[in-house]
A and B are shown apart, each in its own frame.
Chain A
Amino acid sequence: MSGLGAPGALGALIARDIRLALRQGADSMMVIVFFVLVVVLFPLGVGPEPAILGRIAAGVIWVAALLAAMLSMDRLYQTDHADGSLELLVLSPLPLELQFLAKAAAHWLTTGLPLIIAAPLLGVLLNMRAEGYPVLLAALALGTPSLSLIGGVGAALSLGARRSGVLLSLLVLPLFIPVLIFGVSAVDAGLTGLAAKAQLLILGALLLGAAALAPWAGAAALRQAAE
């Protein structure tokens, strides 16, 4: 990476992660299939009445997105940790905080973005009213990057732990709750015809806060995982 400079190196890091995700395409696809499956379980569990489904649609889609983002989180650093490339990343002159951001961006591009694309289809399955779609997409677009950032910290912390999958959910899901609350209430406001601007602004604030703070925590966690 020596000839690239910092922006080029970060681009290369993102491109590498995306390429890895695409080549092992099953991983990325599995997350989407999981997302769809969880949502499909709800009409079967709650009952197929359109009115009830339409009312819970936003919450169901958000919860499923949270779970899908979390499930795909553990592979963010696991393979790098196992094959030793994490040590090279820690040793490289590039600030680890920026590398954390690049990894989170790559995670969002390979899971968050497909989730956003799949979400309207699920809205149709759950009989969500048309007014909700723009807000749902905006809320997911602002919320899922926060999930990638917060989840990245959890993934870095639980590297090499016993039963890291279950542990990761215990660490990360409580921290996802604010995103869930404002994500769902934005869509609910949109569905009832109110302005969703306040909730979307808070989601944006959460994203900015996470983008500013998560890299420090994540880099600290990666450093002590590679020690």
Chain B
Amino acid sequence: MHRFVNPIRFLKLVSAVQPWAMGISIVCLIAGLYFGLVVSPADYQQSETVRIMYVHVPAAWMAMFCYSALAAASAVGLIWRHLTAFVVARATAPIGGAFTFLALATGSLWGKPMWGTWWVWDARLTSVLILLFLYFGYMALEGAFDDRARGMRAAAILAIVGAVNVPIIKFSVDWWNTLHQPASVVKMDGPAIHASMLTPLLLMAVGYTAFYFWVMFVRVRAEFNDARIQALRLRQSEA
């Protein structure tokens, strides 16, 4: 890890991986949507609305994955004082926030036909809503200081504090038995879901993950280029 915190080396790695992430993301998302919306069967109870699952479930996974990445990058940045880790955390936050919003919005659209209501205050939905506010809080705190380094460090501490919410989201459906169904893919005794539905679900998950890395890499490069431009401007004005 410490090899790649050097910004130049990290940017070299990013440039090498970014086209792959882009390619995998586009291919998997198209294939996942095709299998999910066209090939996979309709559910015998939920009929066609089950297809919301292929957008909703991977988005919820990504919401938690991005927050874990955010907290991990923040911890690395705070412990070893690596600027690169802070930049990765900063680039991750809006993407994770968008996935969280997507999960909440599609969940709401799915809840209306299935549960008869757009929203219930059950543990899973509430904890994911808190996750969305944590993303907002991170972004607001990060941008609230004139000294950018201070904003990054303060926001990193908040990200680590908020990480207590991630296991709560994961286990909320097991601890409180409410409307939201418990986990059916990641289970000890194998997934409780047929291959025809699991395939598009996993394709979408891979596509989303690759999408995250793609967009994160673009944002990280933009961030470093921005810093470079500022440094050049500063040097010009001094000359």
Residues of B near A160 (CB, < 8 A) are 145, 150
Interface residues of B in 136-186 (CB under 8 A from A): 136-137, 140-141, 144-146, 150-151, 153-154, 157-158, 160-162, 164
6 new A-B pairs (CB below 8 Å) besides A175-B162, A213-B161, A224-B157?
A: A153-B157, A171-B137, A174-B133, A177-B130, A217-B161, A227-B150
A221 engages B140 (CB within 8 Å): no
6 pairs across A/B with beta carbons < 8 Å? Answer: A157-B157, A167-B140, A170-B133, A174-B137, A177-B126, A217-B161
A171 engages B141 (CB within 8 Å): yes
Task: Identify whether the interface residues of A are mostly helix, strand, loop, or mixed.
Answer: helix
Residues of A near B154 (CB, < 8 A) are 157-158, 161, 221, 224-225
B interface bracket (residues with beta carbon within 8 Å of A): 20 to 34
A23 within 8 A of B: no
Measured in the bound complex, the distance between the Cα atoms of B133 and A57 in whole Å is: 26
Closest 8 CB pairs of A and B: A161-B144, A174-B133, A171-B137, A224-B153, A157-B154, A174-B130, A217-B161, A170-B137
Residues of A near B130 (CB, < 8 A) are 174, 177
Measured in the bound complex, the distance between the Cα atoms of B154 and A114 in whole Å is: 31
A167 engages B144 (CB within 8 Å): yes
Measured in the bound complex, the distance between the Cα atoms of B162 and A217 in whole Å is: 11
Closest chain A residue, CB of each to CB of B143: A162
Known: A170-B136, A174-B130, A174-B137. A162 touches B145 (CB 8 A): yes
B31 within 8 A of A: no
- Chain B, residues 108-138, CB within 8 Å of chain A (1/0): the string is 0000000000000000001000100110110
Known: A174-B133, A174-B134. A217 touches B160 (CB 8 A): yes
A56 within 8 A of B: no
Residues of A near B137 (CB, < 8 A) are 170-171, 174
Known: A158-B144, A167-B144. A221 touches B157 (CB 8 A): yes
Interface residues of A in 212-227 (CB under 8 A from B): 213, 217, 220-221, 224-225, 227
Residues of A near B140 (CB, < 8 A) are 167, 170-171
Residues of A near B53 (CB, < 8 A) are none
A164 engages B144 (CB within 8 Å): yes
* Chain A nearest Cβ from B123, distance in angstroms: 9
B157 engages A163 (CB within 8 Å): no
Residues of B near A170 (CB, < 8 A) are 133, 136-137, 140
Which of the residues A167, A175, A220 comes within 8 Å of B157, measured between beta carbons? A220
Measured in the bound complex, the distance between the Cα atoms of B130 and A181 in whole Å is: 13
Residues of B near A175 (CB, < 8 A) are 161-162
B78 within 8 A of A: yes
* Chain A nearest Cβ from B97, distance in angstroms: 13
Question: Which residues from chain A sit less than 8 Å from chain B, CB to CB?
Answer: 153, 157-158, 160-164, 167, 170-171, 173-175, 177, 181, 213, 217, 220-221, 224-225, 227
Task: Identify whether the interface residues of B are mostly helix, strand, loop, or mixed.
Answer: helix
B144 engages A153 (CB within 8 Å): no
Residues of B near A153 (CB, < 8 A) are 157, 161
A158 engages B160 (CB within 8 Å): no
Measured in the bound complex, the distance between the Cα atoms of B140 and A158 in whole Å is: 10
Residues of B near A157 (CB, < 8 A) are 141, 154, 157-158
Residues of A near B146 (CB, < 8 A) are 162
Residues of B near A227 (CB, < 8 A) are 150
Residues of A near B78 (CB, < 8 A) are 220
Residues of B near A173 (CB, < 8 A) are 133
Measured in the bound complex, the distance between the Cα atoms of B136 and A167 in whole Å is: 10
Measured in the bound complex, the distance between the Cα atoms of B234 and A121 in whole Å is: 62
* Chain A nearest Cβ from B139, distance in angstroms: 10
Residues of A near B144 (CB, < 8 A) are 158, 161-164, 167
Which of the residues B134, B151, B153, B157 comes within 8 Å of A217, measured between beta carbons? B157
Closest chain B residue, CB of each to CB of A209: B164
Measured in the bound complex, the distance between the Cα atoms of B151 and A164 in whole Å is: 12
Measured in the bound complex, the distance between the Cα atoms of B126 and A163 in whole Å is: 27
Measured in the bound complex, the distance between the Cα atoms of B141 and A153 in whole Å is: 13
Residues of B near A181 (CB, < 8 A) are 126
Residues of B near A224 (CB, < 8 A) are 150, 153-154, 157
Residues of A near B150 (CB, < 8 A) are 160, 224-225, 227
Measured in the bound complex, the distance between the Cα atoms of B154 and A160 in whole Å is: 11
Measured in the bound complex, the distance between the Cα atoms of B137 and A158 in whole Å is: 11
